[in-house]
Amino acid sequence: MQITGLDQTDNRIIDLLKENARLSYSEIGKVVGLSRVTVKRRIKQMEKSGIIRGYHAVIDPEATVKGIHFTLDLDVVLAHYEEIVGKLAANPMIHQIYGTSGKSHIHAIGIVPNSETLGSYANYLFRSTRGVRELNWQILVTTYKDTERGVDYEVRYQKHEHLEAGSISSGQEQKRE
């Protein structure tokens, strides 16, 4: 991804840091043809301007937390929105929560140990939470692209061994009249 407003060298530095944020200034300098001091100055400037906001370890939840990845889409009464978000955020199975436009106001992503736990949690959430008009859940079957976890569609999923055949059924839907 090229960042508009940065020159080719800064974009290359960012690409290198995204691949391996532990590279030294000297190692980056060898690749981009600059001195260690110049690379350090460029990186510090990008940090200062907010282009680079930090360096993070990328943890693969599939390697650490065994389970099923799922999504929840909730259509909610807006008067209960914050309460519902708080209830989702308090559950350790929920890893990400997003506010959305359209019919589903809240989109959440999480990991459960098995499908029974997901069904029980979705049923509990729907039945015990005021303001939830509709709840849909889906089990994530395949990841085609996830830049946060280093899954690149072009590199990984256009190879024959990663393509799957067959049909996949959707998750469960619960709806109030």
Q: Give 55-101 pLDDT, tens digit per residue.
A: 877 666 556 557 888 999 999 999 999 999 999 999 999 999 999 98
**pTM reported for the whole predicted model:** 0.55
Sequential DSSP letters for 47-83: HHTTSS--------HHHHS-SEEEEEEEEE-GGGHHH
Find how far residue 44's CA is from the centre of its chain: 27
Residue 159 has pLDDT above 70, yes or no: no
Residue 116 has pLDDT above 50, yes or no: yes
* Cβ-based burial of 135 (10 A; exposed 0-12, middle 13-18, buried ≥19): buried
What the block records as the tokens of 49 is: 């301007």
- Domains within the chain, CATH numbers bracketed: 8-48 (1.10.10.10), 61-175 (3.30.70.920)
Of 58, 127, 125, which Cα lies nearest the Cα of 97?
125
What average pLDDT does the chain have? 83
